[in-house]
Amino acid sequence: AARADGQLEKPAVEFRDIDIHYGKFVAVRDFSLAIRKGSFVTLLGPSGCGKTTILRSIAGLVDISTGQISIGGRRVDDIPIYKRNIGLVFQSYALFPHKSVFDNVAFGLKYRNVPKPEIARRVGKALEMVRLPGSEKKLPSQLSGGQQQRIALARAIVFEPEVLLLDEPLSALDANMREEMRVEIKKIQKETGITAIFVTHDQEEALSMSDRIVVMNAGRIEQIGSPEEVYEAPATAFVADFLGKANMLPGVVASVDGQKATIALSAGQQVTALSPKVLASGARVTVVVRPQKLSVGTSATGNRLAGKVVSTSYLGGSAIYEIGIGEGTIIRANTQIDGRLAREGEAIDVGFDPAACVLMDEKGFRI
């Protein structure tokens, strides 16, 4: 990133060629990432993909096997945890149960020998930031789960760390509280301008909160991009599936007209798709199309496939249909309902724009 004075700004956090082993098991492989100062970056992936391991390596809680980690341009591989200027928030709030809110939040400041009046001022400010002003004397047990997580957040930001690490901080909260806290955390991050690294397996959380998303799978990075990029232009079949359960329709290129390819689906019907590269006839491809991009019934447009309703889930205003399109292939459509809800077993057309699909090659990479 270029600064106004033309100098290159140092990344807030940089990973170079990181491998992390637990004994013989390789939990993270070839991990390289530069995180811009003040940005909100999410590590997203299924359970066991290595996201927590990466997060913990920043804090020094896990040793890296190879590579380098820098914070603000300074290598930290050999710097002990307490000298790394990092705020941490975990899934479990990890508050001291017998200490007051004040003492919980003040912990990092006392530890850093900040003078008493300054501690009181900063704790007050942090509690205001998390919208719990005046709660200094309460005990954690007197607070709701969401409030406790706010206190944990206040404790993490009170000493103005260079980096804030958030490991699934919302997963212990109920659905409503989770949504509220998403907005809240994002707001606090913007207000403080702190660099935040967030770990989750929840795609909605990642899409709604992040400036950039790092999608991980089995210890490796699948794709790095903005929420729109990873959603609209998934680099791999894994990303397409993990973010929003895309429909994956395997087939063979039947004919090609410039960038327009006609694809014979294994399901037995044909579709046209736009490809950034001119494809060869006979090539095996997978047509990837999101449930939200499908139209059904009389409003089906573009590629029109004949199908039969397998199941219907009414969501109020919209519905998710599972539609059989032949040879055991089922396509999911998430669509607005204007008129009557189609019933199970009914014949129905399903359509999508040739430009709405992404093509993957045989190895699962975007063409």
53 binds ligand ATP (CB under 6 A): yes
Angstrom distances, CA of residue 37 to CA of 154, 158, 193: 20, 18, 8
Place of tokens 């790095």: 224
Near ligand ATP by CB under 6 A: residue from 52, 236, 269, 334 = 52
Place of tokens 């999410």: 42
Pick the piece of the chain touching ligand ATP (CB under 6 A) from 19-27, 132-140, 258-266, 276-284: 19-27
**3 state SS of 364:** coil
Near ligand ATP by CB under 6 A: residue from 22, 82, 96, 365 = 22
Hey, CA dihedral for 343, 347, 353, 356, is it positive or negative? Answer: positive
Near ligand ATP by CB under 6 A: residue from 49, 132, 154, 263 = 49
Near ligand ATP by CB under 6 A: residue from 201, 212, 293, 332 = 201
Near ligand ATP by CB under 6 A: residue from 4, 5, 25, 83 = 25
Task: Tell me which residue has its CB nearest to ligand ATP.
Answer: 52
Report residue 298: phi and psi, to 5°.
-70, -20
**How do beta strands 40-44 and 195-200 pair?**
parallel
51 binds ligand ATP (CB under 6 A): yes
Please report, as residue ranges, which positions from 65 to 84 form the binding site for ligand ATP (by CB under 6 A).
Answer: none
Q: Give the nearest distance from C-beta 303 to ligand ATP in angstroms.
A: 37
Q: Which helix (H) or strand (E) holds 352?
A: strand 347-352
Pick the piece of the chain touching ligand ATP (CB under 6 A) from 47-55, 122-130, 237-245, 293-301: 47-55
Near ligand ATP by CB under 6 A: residue from 18, 40, 41, 45 = 45
| Residue from 270, 269, 279 nearest 360 by CA | 279
- Rg (Cα) of the chain, in Å, rounded? 25
Instruction: Dig out the tokens for 195 from the structure.
Output: 């660099």
| Residue from 164, 151, 211 nearest 192 by CA | 164
Task: Decide whether 171 or 312 has the Cβ nearer to ligand ATP.
Answer: 171
27 binds ligand ATP (CB under 6 A): yes
Pick the piece of the chain touching ligand ATP (CB under 6 A) from 42-50, 291-299, 301-309, 355-363: 42-50
Total residues at interface with ligand ATP (CB under 6 A): 12
Near ligand ATP by CB under 6 A: residue from 15, 33, 41, 50 = 50
Task: Decide whether 56 or 138 has the Cβ nearer to ligand ATP.
Answer: 56
Task: Decide whether 27 or 249 has the Cβ nearer to ligand ATP.
Answer: 27
Angstrom distances, CA of residue 130 to CA of 121, 151, 159, 208: 15, 7, 14, 19
Q: Give the nearest distance from C-beta 204 to ligand ATP in angstroms.
A: 16
Q: Give the nearest distance from C-beta 256 to ligand ATP in angstroms.
A: 41
Are 248 and 265 in contact by the 8 Å Cβ rule? The answer is no
| Residue from 77, 74, 71 nearest 20 by CA | 77
Q: At what angle do helices 116-129 and 145-157 cross, to 10 degrees?
A: 130
Are 130 and 186 in contact by the 8 Å Cβ rule? The answer is no
Task: Decide whether 57 or 334 has the Cβ nearer to ligand ATP.
Answer: 57
End-to-end CA distance of the chain: 29
48 binds ligand ATP (CB under 6 A): yes
Task: Decide whether 37 or 56 has the Cβ nearer to ligand ATP.
Answer: 56
Instruction: Dig out the tokens for 185 from the structure.
Output: 């955390």
**Sites of contact with ligand ATP (CB under 6 A):** 22, 25, 27, 45, 47-53, 201
